């Protein structure tokens, strides 16, 4: 009886399979990373801008009915573009900043004595503060509520003040590192955003003072 000898496996086949599996995993991993960045830097902007438009439209309808809206105010900054108008919503959390510019509810309300503090993204989620570094000293920032239109004049540029995220004074009642616990006497606005486009531990700060108030009902203007 003649013994049958099994044919030898071609050398290197297991290695090719392993190499192919690794290649597939690397490809899938690369696609996942690309998908993540595409969502973060494109997808979130599309979704957020659509949501902001909805909030803006609904708020204006509510104002026409004489009631407060989903947004506390509308923000207009000529330096950001002649058609720039973004809703200001309550909160500094991720959800709020995805819906517009966020307002620190512990700070003053628009037009009040104290520090009206707001923040927005430079990239992702509608990037309402994408042009923040272009802000110049003397620029006007307009905040419109149901009853009034407030105009603030900036005291500094968008690149002149950079602080870490843990620095508290921009949210104080008097946004000044030398004014801890000082009683406010001015009507100010503080705007904050990330100082760099991507990962950063710092934020840029601009501060403005109220220079004009327009009463929409009375149609009168007061100069501060």
Residues 209 and 202: their CA atoms lie apart, in Å, by: 23
DSSP label of 190: E
Count of other CB atoms within 10 angstroms of residue 148:
17
Written as six digits, the tokens of 143 are 């905040």
Residues 193 and 219: their CA atoms lie apart, in Å, by: 34
DSSP label of 111: T
Residues 133 and 136: their CA atoms lie apart, in Å, by: 8
DSSP label of 78: G
How many residues are listed for the chain in this entry? 224
50 a catalytic residue: no
Which of 50, 121, 125, 199 is labelled catalytic?
121
Which of 50, 125, 194, 199 is labelled catalytic?
194
Residues 84 and 223: their CA atoms lie apart, in Å, by: 24
Q: Helices in 137-178 by DSSP H: which ranges?
A: none
CA 92 to centroid of chain Cα atoms: 9
Residues 115 and 109: their CA atoms lie apart, in Å, by: 8
DSSP label of 134: G
Q: Collapsing DSSP states into helix, strand and coil, what is residue 3? A: coil
Which residues does the annotation mark as catalytic?
121, 194
């Amino acid at each position: 009886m003649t013994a049958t000898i099994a044919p030898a496996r071609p050398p290197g086949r297991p290695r090719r399979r392993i190499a192919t599996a690794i290649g597939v995993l690397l490809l899938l991993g690369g696609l996942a990373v690309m998908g993540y960045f595409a969502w973060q830097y494109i997808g979130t902007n599309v979704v957020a801008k659509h949501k902001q438009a909805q909030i803006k439209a609904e708020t204006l309808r509510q104002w026409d009915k004489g009631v407060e809206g989903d947004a506390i105010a509308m923000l207009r900054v000529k330096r950001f573009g002649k058609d720039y108008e973004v809703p200001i919503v309550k909160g500094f959390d991720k959800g709020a900043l995805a819906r517009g510019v966020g307002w620190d509810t512990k700070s003053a309300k628009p037009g009040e004595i104290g520090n009206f503090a707001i923040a927005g993204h430079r990239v992702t989620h509608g990037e309402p503060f994408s042009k923040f570094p272009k802000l110049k000293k003397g620029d006007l920032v307009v905040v419109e509520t149901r009853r009034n239109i407030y105009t603030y004049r900036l005291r500094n540029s968008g690149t002149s003040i950079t602080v870490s995220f843990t620095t508290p004074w921009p949210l104080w009642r008097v946004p000044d590192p030398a004014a801890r616990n000082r009683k406010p006497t001015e009507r100010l606005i503080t705007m904050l955003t990330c100082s760099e486009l991507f990962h950063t531990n710092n934020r840029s700060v601009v501060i403005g003072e109220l220079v004009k108030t327009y009463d929409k009902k009375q149609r009168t203007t007061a100069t501060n």
